[in-house]
Amino acid sequence: MSRAAYEATPPPASARRPRGELNPVLLRELRARFRSARAFSVLTTFLLFASGLAWAVYAREAGGGAASGLPGAAVGGEIGPVVFGAVLLAELLTLLLVAPGLTMAAISGEIERRTYELLLATPLSGWTIVRGKLGAAMAYLLLLASSVLPVASLAFVLGGLGPLDLLRGQAAVLVAGLLMASLGLAASALLQRTERAAILAYLGAAALCLGPLVALWLIDALGLPDPLLRRLAVGVLSRSTPLLSAMVAGREGIFGLIYGAGALRGLDADAGVDAFLLQSLALQTGLAAALCAWAAGRVRPSGRERRWGIGLAGLLLVWLVWLLAVPVDWRLALGLGGG
Amino acid sequence: MAEREPAIVTRGLARRYGERWALAGLDLSVPRGLIYGLVGPNGAGKTTTLRLLAGLLEPSAGEAWILGQPATGPRHLDRLRQAIGYMPDFSGVYEDMRAWEYLDFYARCHGLPRSLRRRRVAGLLDLIGLSDRAQDEVGSLSRGMQQRLCLAHALVHDPAILLLDEPAAGLDPRARRELRALLRELRAMGKTIVVSSHVLSELAEVCDQVGIMERGRLVAGGALDALERDLDPERSAGQRVLLELLPPAEAAQALLAGLPGVSLEPDGPAAPDGAAHDPEAAEPLRIAIRVEGGAEAHAAVIDALVAAGIRVAAYQRQERDLERVFLGLTRAEVEG
């Protein structure tokens, strides 16, 4: 052993990360993720699934589905949106399944691996650690989303779609992925076991996706006596689920096959689609940010006790702000008994 | 020897978990540039002490100063993390990284610029003897190598103080020896090292001073010789020696007792079943003595035995007798 080389290097002037340097946690996570065979097997499986679904829908629609009078064929009489919807659905389902799995071990895995304290003994803030973990997950989701673009682009050849549709669709599924990844991260920061965090993350994901739909159905079926309250509740609920935002972004498309044609009646106008989509994506991004802020507060031991309340308050604030900003024409837009 | 400036000072440092006090008012002073051993049974508060000093826990009461600066409270965390390198108990590693990447990761975490980072990582790999394994995945390294790598991670920002919690746990004898050599090397580089262990012999070999902990308190602290004297004021200073003398050696005890600076140890090894040594037996006589003075004094003892015609089969100088000190002090604490 020699200490000459070690002694020859002066100490750093500051613990701050030098400008232009990548977040070290992000770099570590990217290295680990993209070296694993699982990353590429998931990618391959996803591409096969998306292509297979797109091909099956195309074959069905082109081979007489339109004549059968099934709901999917009712969308403008063109196959393009239906095929695009199929790709978007495959992408959405994959991201909903994969995203919590990418982050559910983010913090609990460090604890189980016994590297958590080593990380905490560095000057990294909780927020830097969370950003690095989330950034690596989003990089992988972005890879998945971009890998399917050639398949989605085939829908253009079939007509009835524009580049803006592609942009809307990608934005909707990526924000859904962001929300699910943030949920996994928060579950991992809350529970110190990955198995428990996985259960919580997937239950939370299911609740976020399906809960608002069930609540909307109940509101529609039972009715709320106060019209303002009803308007606010439906406005928030309809914009909080990634399923509806993806459905809107997909111009109904294959989602129409699932939910029934005309489920989005009233959203035919582009302005209505864009407004609903923007509001949905903003709400979901806000929720994701609140979850991440809360997780960052949990990461640092000194912040565990203190920042719990702050994080929760932030989450409620986002919801409150959104409640106040709900547009008035939401009910018509969703076709939930407007007028 | 001049009094060294303290690197770490704590006053009434305490930490409570629920109703239980893991640390109940610790007053500690660790001089700069020494290896300080924290000894104590499981649950004595060693790990809590190190975690508090590393800024990973906030104290329930009390204060700490690192290199003369206050070290408790969130305001001081940045400075604290620059000054301290921490290696936790049972620390893990990122097995999917290469050895150089592992150190590079922590160097990045500490904000080292690229040019310095490369040199620092290379230097550390050299220091821990893993230069030739730099490209290997951490998971493929032996437990001892991983432990050394973990120690190197704590050095990546060149801290003045190292806090090592049970660094030798789970290591084989060879790896322990390498770790001890590394600690001595780091001391020679001017680092202050606080190392906790319940394997007393390990600390005795490498520590300049020890602090003995029991039930969240420091029972005793200081140099081992001084602690031994404190424990038994009747006992003279000096080094304990185990002797094996071949028969006939009946005259040995009287001879040794008469030598200046030499005293017989009452708790030395006895014959089997506590029986008196049989002069007719073929087995060697084993006795323990205490010798005051340096090499000359030890040489004089051997010379005297040889001159008296006594054949010396073994002359084993015991560096430290930490276990006896520890048991004596903790027993006194429990009884008290």
CA dihedral A109, A111, A113, A119 (to 10 degrees): 100
User: Confidence band (pLDDT; 50, 70, 90) for B206?
Assistant: confident
pLDDT of B106 strictly over 90: yes
Comparing alpha-carbon positions, the chain A residue that sits nearest to B157 is A11
Please check whether residue B308 touches A, CB under 8 A: no
Taking alpha carbons only, the member of A252, A338, A258 closest to residue A75 is A252
What is the three-state SS of chain A? CCCHHHHCCCCCCCCCCCCCCCCHHHHHHHHHHHHCHHHHHHHHHHHHHHHHHHHHHHHHHHHHHHHHCCHHHHCCCCCHHHHHHHHHHHHHHHHHHHHHHHHCCCCHHHHHHCCHHHHHCCCCCHHHHHHHHHHHHHHHHHHHHHHCHHHHHHHHHHCCCCHHHHHHHHHHHHHHHHHHHHHHHHHHHHCCCHHHHHHHHHHHHHHHHHHHHHHHHHHHHHCCCCHHHHHHHHHHHHHHCHHHHHHHHCCCHHHHHHHCCCCCCCCCCHHHHHHHHHHHHHHHHHHHHHHHHHHHHHHCHHHHHHHHHHHHHHHHHHHHHHHHCCCCCHHHHHCCCCC
In B2-140, the DSSP E strands lie at 6-17, 20-31, 35-39, 61-66, 69-70, 84-87
Q: Do A121 and B129 touch (CB under 8 A)?
A: no
Q: Do B81 and A15 touch (CB under 8 A)?
A: yes
User: Confidence band (pLDDT; 50, 70, 90) for A328?
Assistant: very low
Per the CB < 8 A criterion, the answer to whether A116 and A110 are in contact is yes
The backbone torsions φ and ψ at residue B191, rounded to the nearest 5 degrees and listed phi first, read -75, 145
Q: Is B3 exposed, middle or buried (0-12, 13-18, 19+ CB in 10 A)?
A: exposed
Least confident segment among A160-164, A245-249, B304-308, B331-335:
B331-335
Is the complex ipTM higher than 0.85? no
- Chain B positions touching A31 (Cβ under 8 A) are 96-97, 101
Taking alpha carbons only, the member of B285, B275, B276 closest to residue B248 is B285
Q: Do B108 and A24 touch (CB under 8 A)?
A: yes
Q: Read off the tokens for A207.
A: 């609740």
Q: Do A302 and B58 touch (CB under 8 A)?
A: yes
Structural domains of chain B in order of their starting residue, each with its CATH number: 6-231 (3.40.50.300), 239-319 (3.30.70)
Comparing alpha-carbon positions, the chain B residue that sits nearest to A6 is B123
Q: Do B94 and A113 touch (CB under 8 A)?
A: yes
Q: Where are the domains of chain A?
A: 23-334
Q: Do B120 and A114 touch (CB under 8 A)?
A: no
Give the pLDDT confidence of A89-147 residue by residue, as tens digits: 889 999 999 999 999 999 999 999 889 989 988 988 888 999 999 999 999 999 999 99
Q: Do B123 and A5 touch (CB under 8 A)?
A: yes
- Chain A positions touching B92 (Cβ under 8 A) are 113-115, 118
Helix spans in B66-142 (H) = 77-83, 99-109, 114-127
The backbone torsions φ and ψ at residue A337, rounded to the nearest 5 degrees and listed phi first, read 70, 40
Q: Among B110, B117, B135, which would you mutate to test the A interface (most chain A Cβ atoms within 10 Å of its Cβ)? A: B110
Can you give the pLDDT at residue A259? 53
Give the pLDDT confidence of B116-147 residue by residue, as tens digits: 899 999 999 988 888 999 999 999 998 888 88
Please give the mean pLDDT across all residues of chain B. Answer: 83
Per the CB < 8 A criterion, the answer to whether B89 and B166 are in contact is yes
Q: Do B90 and A24 touch (CB under 8 A)?
A: no
Give the pLDDT confidence of A196-214 residue by residue, as tens digits: 999 999 999 999 888 888 8
Out of B78, B86, B181, closest to residue A123 by CB: B78
- Chain B positions touching A6 (Cβ under 8 A) are 120, 123-124, 126-127, 155, 189
The count of other CB atoms within 10 Å of the CB of residue A190 is: 17
Least confident segment among A199-208, A245-254, A327-336:
A327-336
- Chain A positions touching B96 (Cβ under 8 A) are 31-32, 35-36
User: Confidence band (pLDDT; 50, 70, 90) for A331?
Assistant: very low
Strands B311-318 and B161-165: unpaired
